[in-house]
C-alpha cells in the first residue's frame, strides 16, 4: 500500500513543523510506504525554507513551490497531479484537518470498498452569521446546479487513485472542486468531525472572498442564472407594456396628462438596474469563457524537490 498526503500551504511557517511531526507519526504507524507533498502556494514567509529543511531530513517529503500565489484550487491540482500513491489524502497544513482521522478514513475505504471518504466538519464554534450564509449557499447552489453539495464537506478527504484520475480528467481552468467532487460520482462516505483551532494566523477566507467563491461555484455548474436573466427581461417587458397601455387608455378616456417626474425616474432606474444585473450575469459567463480560451497554465512551478 502506498499513501500520498497532498498538503497545500500558504504562509504556514508557524504550523508546518507541527503538522509534519504529526503526519509522519500517523504515516509510520501504518507501516506502509508513504509520501507527503507540500504545495507552497507562493508563500511570503519562511514556509519554503522550512520545507527545504524537511526534505533534507526525510526522503518521503517533497514540495512544489509556485512562482506566485495561484490559489488553493491550483495548489490542490498540482498536488494531485504529482501524487503517486494508491490512496491520496488531501488536507490543510494548519492542523484544522486532524491527521489522526487518516487512520479511520483509510479503514473505511479499504474495508467497505469506498472510492472516497470525506471528513465532514460540524459548524460547532463557527460564527452564526458565517454558518447561516454557508447553509444558504449550499441549499441554493444544490438547487441551481442540480448537484448535491453537502454542507461541511470540503477538501479533507481520502481518495483512491481511480477517483483522483477522474478528477484530473476535467481540464477546466475555472475549477470549483466542491462541485466537481459530487459531479464525478463514485462511492463516497462521510464521517463527521469537529473542526480544530488553527495553530497560528488567521483564515484567509473573508466573507467577501467566500461570497465571490460561491458565485464561481454557481456559474461553473449551472446555466440557470442566464435563464433567470431572460425571465427578468420578459417580465420587465410585460410590465412595461401594461404600464404604457394603461397610460394611453387613461389619456384617451379621461384626457389626463402624464404627470409625475418622480415615477418616471423610478421606472428608469428600475429598468436600468435590471439591465445592469443581467449584463453582469452575461459578463460572468463571458469572463469564464475568456479564461478557458486563453489556455494559460493553472500554475507555474518555481522550484520542486
User: Minimal CA–CA distance to 15: which of 35, 43, 34?
Assistant: 43
Are residues 153 and 287 both part of a single domain? no
What's the burial of 12, exposed, middle or buried (CB within 10 Å: 0-12/13-18/19+)?
Answer: buried
How far apart CA 114 and CA 185 sit, in angstroms, is: 12
Count of domains for the chain: 2
Are residues 161 and 243 both part of a single domain? no
How far apart CA 91 and CA 8 sit, in angstroms, is: 7
pLDDT at 208: 62
**Cα distances (Å, whole numbers) of residue 99 to 22, 106, 144:** 7, 11, 34
C-beta atoms surrounding 297 within 10 Å: 9
The domain boundary, picked from 181, 208, 235, lies at 208
Distance of CA 116 to the CA centre of its chain: 18
Length of the chain in terms of residues written: 305
Are residues 114 and 188 both part of a single domain? yes
Are residues 246 and 133 both part of a single domain? no
Are residues 230 and 204 both part of a single domain? no
In this structure, is residue 286 part of a structural domain? yes
C-beta atoms surrounding 291 within 10 Å: 13
Are the C-beta atoms of residues 50 and 18 closer than 8 Å to each other?
A: no
In this structure, is residue 213 part of a structural domain? no
- List the 116-121 sheet strands across, edge first: 188-193, 116-121, 153-160, 87-90, 2-9, 33-40, 61-66, 301-304
What is the extent of the structural domain holding 18?
2-208
In this structure, is residue 219 part of a structural domain? no
Nearest 5°: CA angle at 151, between 145 and 153? 100
Are residues 105 and 50 both part of a single domain? yes
In this structure, is residue 301 part of a structural domain? no
Are residues 139 and 28 both part of a single domain? yes
Q: pLDDT per position in the chain (305 positions), as tens?
A: 899 999 999 888 888 899 999 999 998 888 889 999 999 998 999 999 999 999 999 999 999 999 999 988 889 999 999 999 999 999 988 888 888 888 888 888 888 788 889 888 776 666 676 667 667 767 776 677 677 777 767 788 999 999 999 989 887 777 777 778 888 888 888 888 776 665 555 555 555 665 666 666 666 666 667 767 777 777 777 777 777 777 667 767 766 655 665 567 667 767 777 777 777 777 777 777 777 777 888 899 998 88
Are residues 242 and 179 both part of a single domain? no
The CATH number that applies at residue 146 is 3.90.550.10
Residues 6 or more apart whose Cβ sits within 8 Å of residue 279: none
Are residues 182 and 245 both part of a single domain? no
In this structure, is residue 300 part of a structural domain? no
pLDDT at 198: 58
The domain boundary, picked from 177, 208, 239, lies at 208
pTM score above 0.95 = no
How far apart CA 54 and CA 141 sit, in angstroms, is: 41
Long-range contacts of 200-205 (CB under 8 A, 24+ apart): 200/14, 200/15, 200/94, 201/11, 201/12, 201/14, 201/15, 201/94, 204/10
Are residues 72 and 150 both part of a single domain? yes
The domain boundary, picked from 144, 177, 208, lies at 208
Are residues 163 and 237 both part of a single domain? no
In this structure, is residue 305 part of a structural domain? no
In this structure, is residue 29 part of a structural domain? yes
In this structure, is residue 101 part of a structural domain? yes
Are residues 9 and 78 both part of a single domain? yes
Amino acid at each position: 500500500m502506498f499513501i500520498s498526503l497532498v498538503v497545500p500551504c500558504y504562509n504556514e511557517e508557524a504550523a508546518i513543523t507541527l503538522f509534519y511531526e504529526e503526519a509522519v507519526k500517523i504515516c509510520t504507524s501504518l507501516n506502509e510506504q508513504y509520501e507527503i507533498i507540500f504545495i507552497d502556494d507562493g508563500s511570503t514567509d519562511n514556509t519554503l525554507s522550512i520545507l527545504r529543511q524537511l526534505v533534507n531530513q526525510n526522503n518521503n517529503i517533497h514540495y512544489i513551490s509556485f512562482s506566485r500565489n495561484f490559489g488553493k484550487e491550483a495548489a490542490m491540482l498540482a498536488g494531485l497531479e504529482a501524487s503517486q500513491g494508491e490512496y491520496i489524502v488531501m488536507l490543510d497544513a494548519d492542523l484544522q484537518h486532524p491527521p489522526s482521522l487518516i487512520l479511520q478514513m483509510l479503514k473505511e475505504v479499504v474495508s467497505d470498498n469506498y472510492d472516497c471518504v470525506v471528513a465532514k466538519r460540524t459548524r460547532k464554534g463557527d460564527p452564526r452569521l458565517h454558518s447561516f450564509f454557508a447553509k444558504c449557499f449550499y441549499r441554493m447552489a444544490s438547487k441551481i446546479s442540480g448537484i448535491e453539495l453537502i454542507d461541511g464537506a470540503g477538501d479533507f478527504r481520502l481518495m483512491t487513485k481511480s477517483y483522483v484520475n477522474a478528477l484530473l480528467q476535467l481540464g477546466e481552468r475555472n475549477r470549483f472542486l466542491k462541485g466537481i467532487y459530487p459531479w464525478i460520482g463514485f462511492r463516497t462516505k462521510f464521517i463527521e468531525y469537529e473542526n480544530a483551532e488553527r495553530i497560528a494566523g488567521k483564515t484567509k477566507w473573508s466573507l467577501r472572498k467566500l461570497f465571490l467563491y460561491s458565485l464561481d461555484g454557481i456559474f461553473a455548474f449551472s446555466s440557470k442564472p442566464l435563464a433567470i436573466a431572460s425571465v427578468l427581461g420578459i417580465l420587465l417587458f410585460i410590465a412595461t407594456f401594461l404600464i404604457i397601455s394603461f397610460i394611453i387608455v387613461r389619456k384617451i378616456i379621461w384626457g389626463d396628462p402624464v404627470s409625475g417626474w418622480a415615477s418616471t425616474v423610478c421606472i428608469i432606474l428600475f429598468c436600468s438596474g435590471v439591465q445592469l444585473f443581467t449584463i453582469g450575469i452575461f459578463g460572468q459567463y463571458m469572463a469564464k469563457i475568456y479564461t478557458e480560451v486563453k489556455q494559460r497554465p493553472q500554475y507555474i512551478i518555481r522550484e520542486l524537490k
